[in-house]
């Protein structure tokens, strides 16, 4: 039996990694000046300066088409989406795949780098000899419950205006020099104690990863950013100087995510593999 993996483009998944693991990425949509276009049509930097951009999830038919294509060479498909609390992507995937018997839809409960790590864990599980649909769903669900994402922005104004991130409104960190930090986990946003500088914010993010470590475990981590590659590279270098990582890479936010965060976000998404065997039942559609 073979299991194919599909996700939406909210995952900060580098193109090379998606190709390496055979992951199908369904693009999300942007509406600019009343005209709809697929994410990735124009340069990210130009998009970040464009006012009034609207975003939307892929249509159910687009997930249906991606799954049909995947089933030409696979026996079953797992679709992993951006957190349901942030987007209609999960609902669109469920509607678009409802007619298939061998398809499961999993809410990653995360976005960007966190979503990418869950997708990669599913792809790794699918690559194991004899892997079944239930095996892959179980592994993806298990990792989704453990993945964490902590990030910082010089200002949360854009997140507040977007209205897409619950729990942030009214906490924009307007005082000069304050760098707000927040955690996105299990579909929920939690504000963290702000830092007094960008350097302090980076150190605090790295400390979160270290404190989360089990007595023995293998680290999977993504340094994520929104038009701030130097900040992401610095974060990953800081972490690597303290901790060995089994899997690490830099992932850039896609256009849809940048529309809601604004430029300048940087952070880490991670999960620790302590070798435990996933035992939770599959969460399939």
- How far from each other are the two terminal CA atoms of the chain, in whole angstroms? 19
- Please count the other Cβ atoms lying within 10 Å of the Cβ belonging to residue 48: 19
Q: What is the pLDDT, as a whole number, of residue 178?
A: 75
Q: What is the pLDDT, as a whole number, of residue 285?
A: 46
Indicate the DSSP class of residue 277.
P
DSSP reduced 3-state for 107 = strand
| Dihedral sign, Cα of residue 163, residue 92, residue 256, residue 108 | positive
195-240: pLDDT as tens digits: 888 899 999 999 999 999 998 899 999 999 988 999 999 999 999 9
Q: Are 181 and 193 in contact (CB under 8 A)?
A: yes
Cα–chain-centroid distance for residue 277? 23
> CA-CA distance, 111 to 118, in Å (whole number)?
10
Q: Which of 118-127, 231-240, 268-277 has the lowest mean pLDDT?
A: 268-277
129-172: pLDDT as tens digits: 999 999 999 999 999 999 999 999 866 565 555 555 545 544 54
User: Exposed, middle or buried: residue 197 (CB in 10 Å: 0-12, 13-18, 19+)?
Assistant: exposed
Buried b (16+ CB within 10 A) or exposed e, 84-116: bbbbbbbebbbbbbeebeebbbbbbbbbbbbbb
More confident residue, 6 or 158: 6
> CA-CA distance, 114 to 86, in Å (whole number)?
14
The per-residue pLDDT of the chain, averaged, comes to 88
More confident residue, 190 or 14: 14
Q: What is the pLDDT, as a whole number, of residue 284?
A: 46
Question: pLDDT-based confidence at 279, cuts 50/70/90?
Answer: low
Domains delineated in the chain: 3-144 (3.40.50.10170), 148-273 (3.30.1180.10)
Q: What is the pLDDT, as a whole number, of residue 154?
A: 67
Query: Which of 120, 135, 154, 103 lies closest to 279 in space, CA to CA?
Result: 135
More confident residue, 115 or 253: 115
Among residues of the chain, what percentage have pLDDT more than 90?
64
Q: What is the pLDDT, as a whole number, of residue 170?
A: 45
51-68: pLDDT as tens digits: 788 889 999 999 999 999
């Amino acid at each position: 039996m073979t299991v194919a993996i599909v996700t939406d483009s909210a995952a900060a998944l580098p193109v090379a990694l998606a190709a390496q693991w055979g992951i199908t990425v369904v693009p999300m949509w942007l509406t600019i000046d009343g005209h709809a276009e697929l994410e990735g049509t124009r340069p990210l930097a130009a998009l970040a300066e464009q006012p009034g951009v609207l975003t939307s999830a892929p249509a159910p038919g687009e997930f249906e088409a991606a799954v049909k294509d995947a089933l030409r060479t696979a026996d079953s498909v797992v679709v992993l989406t951006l957190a349901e609390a942030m987007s209609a992507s999960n609902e669109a995937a469920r509607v678009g795949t409802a007619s298939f018997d061998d398809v499961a839809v999993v809410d990653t409960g995360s976005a960007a780098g966190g979503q990418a790590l869950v997708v990669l864990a599913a792809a790794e599980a699918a690559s194991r000899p004899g892997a079944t649909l239930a095996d892959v769903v179980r592994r993806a669900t298990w990792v989704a419950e453990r993945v964490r994402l902590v990030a910082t922005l010089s200002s949360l104004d854009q997140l507040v205006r977007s209205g897409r991130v619950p729990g942030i409104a009214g906490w924009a960190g307007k005082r000069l020099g304050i760098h707000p930090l927040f955690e996105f986990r299990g579909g929920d946003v939690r504000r963290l104690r702000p830092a007094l500088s960008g350097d302090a914010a980076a150190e605090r993010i790295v400390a979160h990863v270290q404190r989360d470590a089990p007595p023995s475990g293998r680290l999977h981590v993504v340094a994520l950013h929104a038009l701030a590659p130097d900040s992401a590279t610095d974060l990953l270098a800081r972490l690597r100087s303290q901790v060995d990582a089994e899997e690490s890479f830099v992932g850039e936010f896609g256009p849809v995510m940048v529309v809601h965060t604004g430029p300048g976000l940087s952070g880490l998404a991670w999960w620790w593999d302590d070798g435990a065997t996933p035992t939770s039942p599959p969460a399939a559609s």
